[in-house]
Amino acid sequence: ITSPVAFDILPLKLHPFSQSTPTGLDCVGWKRRISAPVIADGALDKTALTDDVGSEEDLYEDFRSSTHRYGHPGGGGEQLAINELISDGSVVYAEALWDHVTMDDQELGFKAGDVIEVMDATNKEWWWGRILDSEGWFPASFVRLRVNQDEPMEDYPLKVEGGKEDDSRRFGMGQSTKDQMRTNVINEIISTERDYIKHLKDICEGYIKQCRKRADMFTEEQLKTIFGNIEDIYRCQKKFVKALEKKFNKDHPHLSEVGSCFLEYQTEFQIYSEYCNNHPNACMELSRLTKVNKYVYFFEACRLLQKMIDISLDGFLLTPVQKICKYPLQLAELLKYTNPQHRDFKDVEAALNAMKNVARLINERKRRLENIDKIAQWQSSIEDWEGEDVLVRSSELIYSGELAKISHPQAKSQQRMFFLFDHQLVCCKKDLLRRDILYYKSRISMDDMEILDVEDGKDKDFNISVKNAFKLHCRDTEEVHLFCAKKPEQKQRWLKAFENERRQVQLDQETGFSITEVQKKQAMLNASKQHHAGKPKAVTRPYYDFLMRQKHPTLPTTLPQQQVFMLAEPKRKPSNFWQNISRLTPFRK
């Protein structure tokens, strides 16, 4: 299991990758002739490749001797440096990024924001730490090493009631100390940004360019799946770095005013949403390809030719996910050491909120994309479906429940199940004998509808007495639909749901949220396969199975399950899709 955490510490400089995932690399056969040589710029043949990176035996030795350690950055080098610091008597602190809830007395529980003294970091996955009088194992990927290791604990901000920091301590340290702390954070932001740009360049030039030269191995669709829009991110980040460099005061880094740069690029950073949403697909595609030796050799040759560090491709592709998560953390650290009188204070404060909003937007879009699989599965369970798929127009279930629908001309009342999605209301009928089976009956487009609250009593349009009723009125055709709920509170929930539906549609228009045709078709295809195979309707997560788990006889055998693929917020509001329709037995085993 991996969390998108970037570890950077001053004066220790760790690579900006916290974890990478295994790809089943196999060094057996490396002494054989490489079956998929990299074609460098120009007409470089096989000989040119071996001239650049040494003989095939040298290439094999490099590959074999690397041991491909996955886990903490640097394959153990920087990790060893941390342990050397600890053994020398230095105190190393880490800050918790997420809650770690545990019932195991051998594990150390903590909340996001807690400061942990790292006492042993010899294991890649689990570290031993202490908080006050409690000691235990904790997942290394749940913490971030503090930038300012020299900051005394008594000066570290306390969390007070309401989750806000105690400003009395925050502003209590000496000014020169605080300036030095701000200098450290500014230097970290600039240096990690430069490293990140080089990293993106290596991916684009070392991997993508080479892959495009091998049309016999990769289709454009495959490359889009593996690399997503990382080239767009590279172009965006190059402009962002230039803006940061202009604001960086080399002589007096603590006087640098970088907050405005983040505010200027907050909208452009939304391109990370597409990348983060695609990342699970990239991991699965890489996992599939690296089962074939020629792809393993090809990707490793790309890395060696570009002289990149010993991390597998899936590890490199994780860093943009980590990076967008790290900005709020860096800005929060920067704000902590910025005096209110500093010219950069208001911009940093605004930038922190802006980058948190970017992270929330990315999280929300990811949640929406996860929901489309559930919607596709729901549709596949409905009998006699007619017309276009729900996903053609919708991507979110807003509300569902039972209502009485009254139709013209006889004012006949029919009990139906209704599912309100963005843009449409779907009507279904329960089977008379098997109430767990639903039949498709009709749908209503919500885009041209207005909601009318109907008072209890006789309705003049339908000439009948109604209770807990409301109408949907089409502005274009003057068509009217009358509905009645069983209880007043049910009616109010429906009226509120219709408001939420319009609000969701407006928000999607403002943020530009959309689902690609490929994503829609894939979701329906997956649902169809599961339906025909007679599998349970539960959503499988092969992506998470792809992530590494390391076991140790004296360590916890599994990492906590609650933080698998979180972006910036430690707690994400769970989807209410299944809660809304959990009472329907088609979704139960």
Amino acid at 584: L
Does the pLDDT value for residue 295 go beyond 70?
A: yes
pLDDT at 125: 81
Counting Cα atoms < 13 Å in the Cβ hemisphere of 111 gives: 3
Does the pLDDT value for residue 502 go beyond 60?
A: yes
pLDDT at 404: 94
Q: How far is CA 25 from CA 17, 214, 290, 297, 406, in A?
A: 19, 21, 7, 9, 64
Kindly report, residue by residue over 224-275, the tens digit of the pLDDT.
Answer: 999 999 999 999 999 999 999 999 999 999 999 999 999 999 989 989 988 9
Amino acid at 490: Q
CATH fold match for the domains 179-372 and 396-513: no
Q: What is the CA radius of gyration of the chain?
A: 28
Phi-psi region of 68 (alpha: psi -120 to 50; beta: other; left: phi over 0): left
Contacts of 486 (CB under 8 A, 6+ apart): 402, 468
Residue 418's beta-bridge partner residues? 401, 427
Distance of CA 517 to the CA centre of its chain: 21
Contact 62, 349 (CB under 8 A): no
- For the chain, which residues make up each domain, given as ranges? 76-145, 179-372, 396-513
In which band, very low, low, confident or very high, does the pLDDT at 41 lie, cut at 50, 70 and 90? very low
Of 132 and 404, more confident: 404
Output the average pLDDT for the chain. 75
Domain 76-145 maps to which CATH number in 3.50.50.60, 2.120.10.30, 2.30.30.40, 3.40.1390.10? 2.30.30.40
Q: What is the mean pLDDT of residues 67-78?
A: 39
According to DSSP, residue 389 is labeled: -
**CATH assignment of 396-513?**
2.30.29.30
pLDDT at 533: 59
Residues in the chain, overall count: 589
Q: What is the mean pLDDT of residues 297-323?
A: 90
Q: What is the mean pLDDT of residues 80-108?
A: 77
Q: Is 89 exposed, middle or buried (0-12, 13-18, 19+ CB in 10 A)?
A: exposed
Structure tokens at 480: 């009217």
Q: Is 132 exposed, middle or buried (0-12, 13-18, 19+ CB in 10 A)?
A: exposed
Q: What angle do CA 380, 562, 586 make, to 5 degrees?
A: 20
Q: What is the mean pLDDT of residues 112-141?
A: 86
Give me the DSSP letters along 345-389.
Answer: HHHHHHHHHHHHHHHHHHHHHHHHHHHHHHHHHHHHHSBT--SS-
Contacts of 330 (CB under 8 A, 6+ apart): 185, 188, 189, 192
Structure tokens at 378: 């729901």
Of 470 and 26, more confident: 470
Tokens 């990927």 found at: 141
Contacts of 288 (CB under 8 A, 6+ apart): none
Structure tokens at 500: 């939420």
Contact 549, 1 (CB under 8 A): yes
CB atoms within 10 A of CB 401: 17
Nearest to 190 by CA among 258, 266, 265: 258
C-alpha span between 248 and 435 (Å, rounded):
67
pLDDT at 293: 94
Q: What is the mean pLDDT of residues 541-550?
A: 36
Is the model's pTM score more than 0.85?
no
3-class DSSP state for residue 453?
strand
Q: What is the mean pLDDT of residues 278-292?
A: 90
**Which run of H or of E encompasses 303?**
helix 293-306
pLDDT at 526: 83
Does the pLDDT value for residue 449 go beyond 80?
A: yes
Helix residue ranges per DSSP H, 13-102: 46-53, 56-65, 77-87
Kindly report, residue by residue over 135-164, the tens digit of the pLDDT.
Answer: 999 988 788 787 666 555 544 444 434 444
3-class DSSP state for residue 202?
helix
CB atoms within 10 A of CB 472: 19
Q: Is 330 exposed, middle or buried (0-12, 13-18, 19+ CB in 10 A)?
A: buried
Write down the CATH superfamily of domain 179-372: Dbl homology (DH) domain (1.20.900.10)
Tokens 């910025």 found at: 338
CB atoms within 10 A of CB 225: 17
CA dihedral (98, 99, 102, 106) in degrees, to 10, reads: 60
The reply to whether omega before 11 is within 30° of 0 (cis) is yes
Of 305 and 569, more confident: 305
C-alpha span between 94 and 139 (Å, rounded):
12
